Chain A
Amino acid sequence: MKTVLEVRNLTKYFNGFKAVDTISFDMYSGEILGLLGPNGAGKTTTLQMLLGLTTPSGGEIRIFGLPFEGHREEILHRVNFSSSYVALPYSLTVRENLMVFCRLYGVEKPERKIDELLDIFEIRNIKHIPARRLSSGQLTRLCLAKALLNDPDILFLDEPTASLDPDIADKTRGLLRRIREERGLSILYTSHNMKEMEEMSDRVIFMDRGRIIAMDKPEGILRRYSGRSLEEVFLKIARG
């Protein structure tokens, strides 16, 4: 399998506090990699460094074989991001929001791309509705549509289903799996929903206090910690 993301000895200090402690891992083409850990484990900081939002204190990030530093634009053209904690301008319609990002990513035939994604996420009926009038489920799907506009090779998702009801969350997971299969998309995924992690991830990285304490397939993690579910393992780790 082709490696799309290589992380080597990645470290981040905040005022002397080691938030991420020399972690190393790879992500492969078409893989869904879950990033798991209690609050303060360093997941978000890791994600931020992978997206170039936070500068690492040490270590190396290579995406598509290129060092992030010095190839930012080239790399960001081929990746995208969605988070339940990030929104889109409320006054703009669904179409306008997506059009802005189509132009930022240099998407060819943007109208066709927008329609295609709105159909995939079943929100074409709200194309001309301002984002402020959308339900949280519709808003999440809009953010996911935005994240797929540039046909990314890697998608970074930070708790993408956090604000969704079980039905919409299940549909969203199904969609993400389908898109992964159809396009060979690699997804780095953080979530506090252990069941979701177990269901979605090909491999899981468990982080605690800035370090990777386990990295394996979900069943491998369960075996190693003698747990029946990732939630049980999570609680064991979080409670020491």
Chain B
Amino acid sequence: MNISRILAYTTRHLYLYRRSLPRLMEIFYWPVLDLVVWGFISVYLSEYRGGLPAFVSFFLGALILWDVLFRSQQGISVSFLEDMWSRNLLNIFVSPITPSEYIASLLVISFIKLLFASTVMVFLAWLLYSFNILTFGFHLIPLVANLIVMGWSVGIVTTALILRFGQEAEVLAWGIAFLFQPVSAVFYPVEVLPPFLQGIAMFIPSSHVFEGMRAVISGGDLPVEKMVWAFGLNCMYIFISVVFFFWIFRRVKEKGLLTKIGE
């Protein structure tokens, strides 16, 4: 792995966000809108429900953490799409950058974008609703880390599918994370799911993260066994996603599709 090449490709995206107001807005627009709309709805509903303590905290915590997963996935897939849209992919792939360095660079870009978007969300949640997710303290680290890695796995698989199926698969970059939302138990506990979905949720790292978050908000300890299980699953999924990407990349080169992406 050549760090200079990884940073070079990262710089390409940092230049883009420095230059393009619409791209910069895209990082902040949806997270802020989600937080404002759903935040006020949860404040309103909390007045009527009464029975569920910390309703607003559950909801805002879930919104912020869901955005971590969603943004880390998008940070990878959309960065790849940027080069597809600007017809720059061939320039990249005929340069000495290796596919591993390319993936590593996408991870760095995703992390930087996530850092900016999350900072804004955390600040707004504190400002508008007096909800400070940082009170989670060190518990926040395993929660966020697991969501980032899961987002990366989904992002790498999405990018591989776009590589293989071209522009037709572009929609996956925007929608694929939501496929996991129902079984991630983002806004409700896993136990409300029907048994067969509970079975699936068991193998979705994010479901353990959101269960952990609710435990912390309820004043309990972070369920370590859930975090370890999520970590184990994530290790497996990130490995599978990288292997899948390389397999698809090889197939795409065999089929001569690399030059047709974006057509």
User: B-contacting residues of A (Cβ < 8 Å)?
Assistant: 12, 14, 19, 44-45, 48, 51-55, 72-73, 76-77, 79-81, 83, 85-93, 96, 99-106, 130, 146, 156
Contact = CB atoms under 8 A, between A and B. Distances in A.
B86 A53 contact: no
17 contacts: A14-B255, A19-B256, A48-B256, A54-B258, A81-B94, A86-B87, A86-B90, A87-B86, A89-B15, A92-B15, A96-B15, A100-B11, A103-B7, A103-B8, A105-B95, A105-B96, A146-B91
Contacts of B9: 100, 104
Query: Which of B9, B97, B253 has the largest count of A CB atoms less than 10 A from its CB?
Result: B253
Given A54-B259, A93-B15, A96-B15, 18 more contacts: A12-B256, A52-B94, A53-B93, A53-B253, A55-B253, A81-B91, A85-B87, A86-B87, A86-B90, A88-B88, A89-B86, A90-B86, A92-B12, A96-B19, A104-B8, A106-B5, A106-B96, A130-B19
A53 to B, nearest CB: 5
Query: Which of B97, B255, B256, B258 has the largest count of A CB atoms less than 10 A from its CB?
Result: B256
Interface of B: 4-5, 7-9, 11-12, 15-16, 19-20, 23, 82-83, 86-88, 90-98, 250, 253-256, 258-259
A83 B250 CA distance: 23
Contact of B19 (A73, A76, A91): A91
Nearest to B90: A86
Consensus secondary structure, chain B interface:
helix
A89 B96 contact: no
B86 A88 contact: yes
A91 B259 contact: no
Given A81-B91, A104-B95, A89 B255 contact: no
Given A89-B12, A103-B4, A103-B8, A54 B256 contact: yes
B48 to A, nearest CB: 47
B16 A91 contact: yes
Nearest to A103: B8
Contacts of B87: 85-87
A54 B8 CA distance: 24
Contact of B96 (A77, A85, A96): A77
B197 to A, nearest CB: 40
Contacts of A79: 94
B88 A53 contact: no
A12 B259 CA distance: 15
A108 to B, nearest CB: 12
A51 B256 CA distance: 12
A19 B255 CA distance: 11
A91 B19 CA distance: 6
A130 B19 CA distance: 9
Query: Which of A89, A93, A101 has the largest count of B CB atoms less than 10 A from its CB?
Result: A89
B16 A53 contact: no
Nearest to A15: B255
Query: Which of B9, B19, B97, B98 has the largest count of A CB atoms less than 10 A from its CB?
Result: B19
Nearest to B253: A55
A55 B97 contact: no
Contacts of B12: 89, 92, 100
B90 A83 contact: yes
B99 to A, nearest CB: 10
B256 A106 contact: no
Contacts of B98: 72-73
A85 B15 CA distance: 23
Contacts of A96: 15, 19
A53 B258 contact: yes
Contacts of B4: 103, 106
B164 to A, nearest CB: 15
Contacts of B88: 86-89
Given A76-B96, A89-B82, A104-B96, A54 B91 contact: no
B7 to A, nearest CB: 7
A101 B92 CA distance: 8
Nearest to A47: B259
Nearest to A45: B256
B96 A73 contact: yes
A79 B93 CA distance: 12
A54 B94 contact: no
B31 to A, nearest CB: 22
A14 B98 CA distance: 25
A89 B83 contact: yes
A104 B102 CA distance: 11
